[in-house]
A and B are shown apart, each in its own frame.
Chain A
């Protein structure tokens, strides 16, 4: 298994501002994943972050809105830019613990006012 921490755990932000979420893993991993969970909804993959290369974004998500950094094999950041109330969600970081099994961080609960 993998132990994942995220910062901040929650935040309330004003529209038009940006928030950077940090994800730290206790072991080196090749791929890190960022998910969004809007209120009352399931989880949707935003992007996959590989160390040393640009993140791969899923349909409907763009780098200008959700820039991602992956400076090393244990750390990644996701920025939510120019926020609007529609960005209010839980953002979760995830890694694979084995070939396929995935583990999730505790999430960052974001409210945009």
Chain B
């Protein structure tokens, strides 16, 4: 099945700093999503971005499908940005066909 790798695994920032999170995937994909999991465990949809660039406030994402990677940019980070950021792609599962496959996540901590 498809492999999804995220980097870095951990990131510690001071409030106000910028950061870039990376997601590499092993095969062509129909869908790529970025999620933020808050400290309470809820997964929040950030971007649905199979290709191109999108922006939403301080966050933006770029996916270069031909080179099999996506980047999530966080500018002027705030303490509320803390949590785990997951990249997920629609990959092929042996038993059930096309399904969403998650990377291992980037644990972001923003200190005041």
Contacts and interface: CB of A to CB of B under 8 A. Distances in A.
A109 B31 contact: no
Contacts of A45: 93, 96, 99-100
B43 interface: yes
Contacts of B35: 104
A102 B42 contact: no
A27 B90 CA distance: 22
Interface string A44-85: 110010000000111100000000000000000000000000
Interface residues of A, number: 26
B69 interface: no
Given A56-B95, A106-B40, 14 more contacts: A41-B104, A42-B103, A43-B86, A43-B88, A45-B96, A99-B31, A100-B30, A100-B50, A101-B48, A102-B88, A103-B45, A104-B45, A107-B41, A109-B41
13 contacts: A1-B45, A33-B99, A42-B102, A43-B88, A44-B102, A45-B100, A94-B100, A98-B48, A100-B30, A100-B31, A100-B50, A102-B100, A104-B42
The 8 closest A-B pairs by CB, nearest first: A100-B31, A104-B43, A101-B48, A56-B96, A42-B102, A43-B102, A107-B41, A106-B42
